[in-house]
């Protein structure tokens, strides 16, 4: 099958991308301690993968309260800003584009990670959900600990979070990023507000669908005002329900959110799609409805083979395709696809999360 669309140039709200491959955000937990500071090893990792049309970084917490896993990077201190400059320089030197993903985990956290009680729209613990630390494991592996019961956020807490996202976006631009992606997916704070099973509030931020999307809309509007709508994207996960997020109203809520995001004229909506073997597939009628509702760029990520990606592009259901683990193990993934080359596989699952060396991170080979 021809992959002409996948390899075509694309204008992302004025930002020219050399192809339609997007390197999806993947948590790798390599930030330097103490202070969750991005480092030279991370810059090497992202620079190796700059052949993607655009890279979205791993999720990056906007505050210490927003942190849910050990050794993930932040974007709220000057040291973190300076650390991220190593990455943006490395990617831009190779002609790539890169957005930073802004993150607040909400209730998906533990005081063992950040010393704080988690916060959430409602004081409901996420059942059967864990986070990881690196304390005590003899081989340096991540140790999983259950999340703790959160406290319900006050209106002041909500305002603080909005301000943290705005400051994080400003810091990202100072660090040299081409834009930011607001993480509204995968059971984290914004997603917790969107869903009726995790949001039991009775004020302006809960109850109706219109109220449950309010935090997402307010954060997005404030970020777009601060750094520009062309530099602002949002990630959503309508068909993913892990972390105790099964909500029968979520599809209608997501579509209402998409309508409001369309009014803000932001750069893109990024669908995080499940990528395990028996995962639910996003039906075409949902994609068609989203295309009718949101007029700018739509991204689909979910471990799709290139021919499936090409078909979605040809049918004009999406504009960019995100690839995660294929980029993790193949720094030159677009070129390997073009040449039908053999792909590297994950060499060691122990290095997926954490590890302070190149092993399983920057040592995956390029094609000879």
- Residue at 367 is within a domain: no
In a domain, residue 362? The reply is no
Query: Which residues form the catalytic set?
Result: 188
Report strand pairing: 15-17 vs 21-23.
Answer: unpaired
Question: Which residue bears the tokens 């990077």?
Answer: 73
Which phi-psi region, left, alpha or beta, contains residue 241 (left: φ > 0; alpha: ψ -120 to 50)? alpha
**Sign of the dihedral defined by the CA atoms of residues 134, 135, 140, 144, in that order:** negative
Per-residue pLDDT tens for 28-45?
999 999 999 999 999 999
Name residue 130's beta-bridge partners.
Answer: 146
Chunked into runs of 10 residues, the chain (368 residues) has average pLDDT values of: 94 96 97 96 98 98 98 98 98 98 98 97 97 77 92 98 98 98 97 98 97 98 98 95 92 97 98 71 91 98 93 97 96 97 93 88 94
Residue-wise burial string across 128-149, b where 16 or more C-beta atoms lie within 10 A, e elsewhere: ebebbbbeeeeeebbeebebbe
Within-domain flag for 333: yes
Q: Domain count for the chain, please give it.
A: 1
What percent of the chain lies above the pLDDT cut of 70?
Answer: 97
Does a structural domain hold residue 91? yes
pLDDT, residue 355, reads 80
In-domain check, residue 58:
yes
In a domain, 2, yes or no: no
How many of the other CB atoms lie within 10 Å of CB of 355?
Answer: 21
Does residue 172 fall inside a structural domain? Answer: yes
CATH of the domain at 24: 3.20.20.70
Range of the domain at 322: 10-351
pLDDT score, position 120:
98
**pLDDT computed for residue 363 by the predictor:** 96
Interval 305-347: pLDDT, tens? 999 999 999 999 999 999 999 999 999 999 999 999 999 999 8
Global pTM reads 0.97
Q: Is residue 360 part of a domain?
A: no
CA 145, 100, 232, 169 torsion-angle sign? positive
Return d(Cα 165, Cα 235) in angstroms, integer.
14
């Amino acid at each position: 099958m021809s992959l002409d669309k996948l390899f075509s140039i694309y204008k992302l709200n004025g930002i020219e991308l050399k192809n339609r491959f997007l390197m999806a955000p993947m948590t790798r937990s390599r930030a330097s301690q103490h202070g969750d500071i991005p480092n030279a090893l991370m810059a090497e990792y992202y620079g190796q993968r700059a052949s993607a049309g655009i890279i979205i970084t791993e999720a990056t917490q906007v505050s210490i309260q927003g942190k849910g896993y050990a050794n993930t990077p932040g974007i709220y201190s000057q040291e973190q800003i300076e650390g991220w400059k190593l990455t943006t320089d490395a990617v831009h030197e190779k002609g790539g584009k890169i957005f930073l993903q802004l993150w607040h985990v909400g209730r998906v956290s533990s005081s063992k990670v950040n010393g704080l009680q988690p916060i959430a729209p409602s004081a409901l613990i996420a059942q059967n959900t864990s986070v990881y630390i690196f304390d005590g494991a003899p081989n340096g592996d991540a140790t999983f600990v259950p999340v703790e019961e959160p406290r319900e956020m006050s209106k002041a807490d909500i305002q603080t979070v909005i301000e943290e996202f705005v400051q994080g976006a400003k810091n990202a631009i100072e660090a040299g990023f081409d834009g930011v992606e607001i993480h509204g997916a995968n059971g984290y704070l914004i997603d917790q507000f969107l869903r009726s099973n995790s949001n039991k509030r009775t004020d302006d931020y809960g109850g109706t669908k219109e109220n449950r999307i309010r935090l997402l809309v307010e954060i997005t509007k404030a970020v777009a005002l601060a750094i520009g709508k062309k530099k602002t994207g949002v990630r959503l996960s309508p068909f993913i329900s892990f972390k105790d997020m099964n909500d029968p109203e979520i599809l209608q809520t997501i579509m209402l959110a998409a309508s409001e995001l369309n009014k803000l004229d932001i750069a893109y909506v990024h669908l995080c799609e499940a990528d395990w073997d028996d995962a639910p597939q996003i039906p075409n009628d949902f994609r068609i409805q989203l295309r009718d509702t949101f007029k700018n760029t739509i991204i689909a990520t979910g471990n799709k083979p290139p021919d499936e990606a090409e078909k979605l592009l040809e049918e004009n259901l999406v504009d960019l395709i995100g690839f995660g683990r294929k980029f993790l193990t193949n720094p030159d993934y677009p070129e390997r696809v073009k040449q039908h080359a053999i792909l590297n596989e994950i060499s060691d699952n122990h290095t997926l999360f954490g590890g302070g060396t190149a092993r399983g991170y920057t040592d995956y080979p390029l094609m000879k």
